[in-house]
Structure 1
Amino acid sequence: MNWKNVLLIGAVTLLPASLMAQANILNAKTPEDIGKKTEAQKAMDHDVPLEYGYIDERDILWSKTVWETIDLDERVNFPLYYPTDTIDIGADRRSLYDVLLKNIQNGKLKDVYADSYFKDKRKFSELSATLSMKDTTDYGYEQINAGEELSPEYVITRNLSAADIEEYHIKGMWYFDKRQGELKYRLLGIAPVAPDVNFIDDDSMDPADALVELFWVWYPDARQILHDAKVFNQRNSAQPISFDMLLNSRRFNGVIYREDNVYGDREVDDYVTDNALFQLLEAQRIEEVIRDREQDMWAY
């Protein structure tokens, strides 16, 4: 056995995954060259997401809008959650929450909304009460009552981070395209869900009761941003995929918690109460109705 080859293979195996996924690593002459693409590579890149085809309203034979919960505790959904600690990792790897928040801050993602109906717009300045919290300690109140200036060390600031995100809520439409004769899905919106920042460290409150939607993003408006941001590919770190590809190809597990209905789009737990198993079965029933719709369109 050639021990030199064994040591070489072992060294490559121990390389950080983020390092192996970066571009131009095999041609880099210095560590600073890692991640920099050549002009030829830039010319070959197609840095735009695959455009949605035009769908005429007359071609939609049937449709149903559903809201789903993506639980980040499930292993299949980990690519949307990690990495949460970005200190020792490359800038090319960020969680979905960090990607959305960064582009809201720099203005590339201009419109965010208060709910999933996309009627009430929010600016980043209006999200500060949702994303961060400031509180004064007892010693700080003693300073204020004594007429003294409040010292900064007595002010507690708590900002939500990617590690605090528990779920994502998505809104999408299943529709039957009679021109192509198939059932399709179109993602319409996505929202990060985290505990209310004002109660996130309150042990007396049930964490499930404190979850709130931070903001909603109109998904077609964010496609270019999510196309540029890459997700770590566990099967092949040399071929990362984009968040846009991951979400559009539904490479995640989601559970339906609401559908459009005559009762004002009520949620499943509004009519199946205090029974998580029955709520899950109801979500599966709605999925089966959607799947069976495509089969029912055909007659033999």
Structure 2
Amino acid sequence: MRMKSLIASVVSVMAGSLMFAQVDINGGPINNPSPNVIDGVYIQQHIPTKRMIPYEHVREADVIWSNRVWRAIDMREKINHSMYFPFDEYDADNNWVRHATRWSLWTVIKTHVLNGDLTVYSPYNPLAFFIKDGDSFKYPIVPPPGKNYYTDSLFRDQLFYYLGTLGPESDLPLVDIYGDDSLDINGNYVYPPRDTNWVLSKDVVQYRVKEDWFFDKERSVMDVRILGLCPVTYDTDPNTGSISGMKELFWLYFPQCRFVFNNYFVFNTHNDAQWFSFDDLFWKRQFNSTIYKESNVYDRKVETYKAGIDALYESQRITENMRIIEHDVWDF
């Protein structure tokens, strides 16, 4: 009996220690913000500690049909607000302040890009900006082995152009701004530094997705695999602030993103006890999107031959064609 009591005491102590231990997987927000404090009834540790579900293996010989499409996920749509959540800002000391419990998809992406866990692929050829084929993952921006944004200055300078922009240049004479202080020790004018405008969650208005739809005859299913993910902002003039279009920041290889997305919560509007992960959100297709391009001989986007409501109809037509093909496979 004494041995059983001793074992029970040890188990209870271990359980109590686990309850008040701070679970911090991938650096994401948890409901155990401080020692001996639980913001809720229990520690929400299933998502931060769960293992990623691997994709089913697919042989080339088993794929009897395939189609590649590119989608745009608009953050203005209510169903997509689970990814949005503009709850991060920079304070007066230029420190990145993130929400304590809920992170947007951009917050997760930026955190792990800075840490070096996610590889950024340039949306254009760094040597020829007019060649925009970055969705093929041809131009990786990688730090030296063992380095990241915080520890390598060269990588930090390269990555800045994909995470932020420089503010407008001053149109006032330097003497009007600084007076005599605008001269260096050699008597030369020193230009004032331009402000740094970091991309925040509220600035990401769209995510673009590259995916392959295919029919696997071995499993007899129509399946889809997301290959790439791209955050998009408005392309604005730094001097006037006018919007000239959309700007792709960079592409991410989605199979690599799954290892990160798998351990971050997504808000569930129907049940606070059943929050799922960002990987679950993409796996279960819990978002709304429109097709802006499909594989074609001209490699052209829908907007080049359709406009307005006709472009939406074209997106629906492409989706319906894939459904018809799946239906025809089973039509004997």
TM more than 0.5:
yes
CA distance in 1, matches of 2:328, 2:165: 49
User: Offset of 1:24 from its aligned partner?
Assistant: 6.5
Partner of 2:234: 195
Which residue of the other structure, out of 39, 62, 65, is the alignment partner of 1:62?
Answer: 65
Partner of 1:291: 323
Which residue of the other structure, out of 114, 120, 132, is the alignment partner of 2:139?
Answer: 120
Which residue of the other structure, out of 96, 103, 107, is the alignment partner of 2:116?
Answer: 107
Aligned 8 A contact 1:61 1:177 in 2: yes
Partner of 2:274: 239
CA distance in 2, matches of 1:83, 1:117: 29
- Evaluate the alpha carbon distance shift between residue 194 and residue 36 of structure 1 in structure 2; reply closer, same or farther with a 3 A threshold: farther
Partner of 2:265: 230
Gaps of 5+ in 2: 1-28, 90-96, 124-133, 143-154
What does 1:206-221 align with in structure 2 at a 5 Å threshold? 207=243, 209-221=244-256
CA distance in 2, matches of 1:102, 1:249: 24
Aligned 8 A contact 1:80 1:95 in 2: yes
What does 1:74-113 align with in structure 2 at a 5 Å threshold? 74-85=77-88, 89-90=99-100, 92-113=101-122
Partner of 2:313: 281
Partner of 2:21: none
CA distance in 1, matches of 2:48, 2:255: 21
Give percent identity, aligned residues only.
Answer: 31
- Evaluate the alpha carbon distance shift between residue 43 and residue 266 of structure 1 in structure 2; reply closer, same or farther with a 3 A threshold: closer
TM-score by length of 1: 0.78
CA distance in 2, matches of 1:286, 1:44: 35
Provide the alpha-carbon RMSD of the alignment.
3.0
What does 1:136-175 align with in structure 2 at a 5 Å threshold? 136-139=169-172, 141-142=174-175, 147-150=188-191, 155-175=194-214
Q: What SS does the aligned partner of 1:238 have?
A: helix
Q: What SS does the aligned partner of 1:93 have?
A: coil
How many positions carry a matched residue from both structures?
265
Matched, 1:269 2:296: no
Deviations 1:211-234 (A, max 9, x none): 111000000011110011111111
Structure 1: which amino acid aligns with 2:137? F
User: Offset of 1:294 from its aligned partner?
Assistant: 0.5
Matched, 1:180 2:180: no
User: Offset of 1:149 from its aligned partner?
Assistant: 4.0
Q: Which range moves more in the overlay, 62-71 or 226-235?
A: 226-235
User: Offset of 1:135 from its aligned partner?
Assistant: 3.8
CA distance in 2, matches of 1:235, 1:278: 34
Aligned 8 A contact 1:118 1:218 in 2: yes
Partner of 1:7: none
Structure 2: which amino acid aligns with 1:117? S
Aligned 8 A contact 1:113 1:217 in 2: no
- Evaluate the alpha carbon distance shift between residue 44 and residue 78 of structure 1 in structure 2; reply closer, same or farther with a 3 A threshold: closer
Gaps of 5+ in 1: 1-20
Structure of greater Rg? 2
CA distance in 2, matches of 1:88, 1:116: 29
Structure 2: which amino acid aligns with 1:81? Y
- Evaluate the alpha carbon distance shift between residue 148 and residue 49 of structure 1 in structure 2; reply closer, same or farther with a 3 A threshold: same
Aligned 8 A contact 1:48 1:227 in 2: yes
User: Offset of 1:89 from its aligned partner?
Assistant: 3.6
- Evaluate the alpha carbon distance shift between residue 234 and residue 116 of structure 1 in structure 2; reply closer, same or farther with a 3 A threshold: same
Aligned 8 A contact 1:135 1:157 in 2: no
User: Offset of 1:251 from its aligned partner?
Assistant: 0.4
Aligned 8 A contact 2:137 2:253 in 1: yes
Aligned 8 A contact 1:116 1:216 in 2: yes
